[in-house]
Structure 1
Amino acid sequence: MTATPYVMLVKCPDTLGVVAAVSGFLAQNRCSIEESHQFLDQETGRFFMRTTFAPESESAFDLARLGEAFLAVADRFQIEWKLFDMRQRPKVLIAVSKFGHCLFDLLHRWRAGLLPVDIVGVVSNHDDMRSFVEWSGLPYHHLPVEKGNKRPQEQQFLQLVEDLQVDLVVLARYMQILSEEMCAALAGRCINIHHSFLPSFKGAKPYHQAHARGVKIIGATAHYVTTDLDEGPIIEQGVERVSHAKSAANLVTIGQDIECAVLARAVTWHVEHRVSINGQRTVVFS
């Protein structure tokens, strides 16, 4: 039995027999379930399932053929589904502006073997991070934004995504608002870290906004990018208590540590295929 599992993600209307049908299908195709998690959203009547499995014989196994065979089950239960081979490391493109802490953290985790991805490059609208990125052995794509006309830059960005066959774009404090066209092109495969515990304190300088309001908890939010600014489905959040004695600068320092941890968890869960989008929310099998 192989130690490398495959993953099946399922979401569908709640119907009696879905778990039995999926489990039975895998058994019929000589696959052993290693782990399975399910969730029923009572509000929407949607059912979600993540199953890891391994074939009895790796040499005789074909993931594409398994997918074709699953179509009959999917049609019966109106299942939206995806199959993944965990040996295939997703290709990730990171975007950054002038704040490097999230970039530094992601690259450290990647170089240490803690992040199961292939980082194929870094995009920036500034040149500040070039030396560190190139020292890390990665290509640096400086794509400056023309004031009042960001369309050419976004076209270059999307061309990079296509040319490099990118699976996930990570906005690691990339301080640009993406156009509706770009959001649509990257739907479900673009994660942003927002330096605030959303939905409060959106927009610029959220830590300064929070300080002005005398908050006692600060945090950060990782979410999928949509056309609704800072309102995409939330993947992960983190918080830390603060007191009146903390300055705005103190909050920035504390907040940056939270951002790094939250973004790393969100990226890891996404590439491990633990996240299913559920309308404006997510189901995370962490």
Structure 2
Amino acid sequence: MSNIHPSAIIEAGAQIDPTVKVGPFCLVGPEVVLAADVELKSHVVVTGATEVGEGTVIYPFAVIGEIPQDLKFKGEQSRLVIGKRNRIREHVTMNVGTEGGGGVTRIGDDGMFMAGCHIAHDAVIGDRVVLVNSVAIAGHAVLEDDVIVGGLGGVHQFVRVGRGAIVGALTKVTHDVIPYGLVQAPRGELEGLNLVGLKRRGVARADITALRAAFQMLAQGEGTFHDRAERLGADTDSAYVKEITDFVLGESDRSFLTPR
């Protein structure tokens, strides 16, 4: 194919759409599926049982679909599924899943994964997620849609980060983050709401006002954090507030970052 550089190695069995572009010195493994308009710039490794969605671009020296960095992994069959129109920059690593974590690592659509990011086994990443340079997402973590994690940040195993939340640079997140939360400081403190992100997405002022009132109630109300979320969910008419309370009341393997 004229759009595959002669120095690239495409192993037998790989499924590659005719519109795919593969640059020099790339390696595509035998179980890989590359959808329409995928582009591998150069020196890219895509291996394992990996599916790359339409329009995704992968930049030099990224390693996509290698085995997990997990001593419990014994070579079992597992997958990496990447959605559409992602931008995966230089030196990014994304691993396949493990049997203990469900066997699949999933990446949504329209994400930006800047240089040096790592997505570990069995993580689930939503749509329009932005990971700034050298962010590390540990195994089994869940990042919902529209999450942003600042440079050199880290998300602990099994942590959930709710939709629209933002995590500052150099921040370690070891507890679940409510949707639309703003997390800062080296050990990850819930400082408030991602108001800038809400405004940029055109959320109505009335909804933002309801979210701010909800945050205050979660921070200062009577009872435990869980108790406050239950009361708030029963009383609210706001879909945005309900999203937060449903998130808090849902199943989790971690405790929550609570407002200071």
- Interval containing the TM-score (normalised by the shorter chain): under 0.3
User: What TM-score, normalized by structure 2, do the two folds share?
Assistant: 0.24
The structure, 1 or 2, with the larger RCO (C-alpha pairs under 8 Å, 6+ apart) is: 1
Highest CA radius of gyration, 1 or 2? 1
Task: Name the structure where helix makes up a greater proportion of residues.
Answer: 1
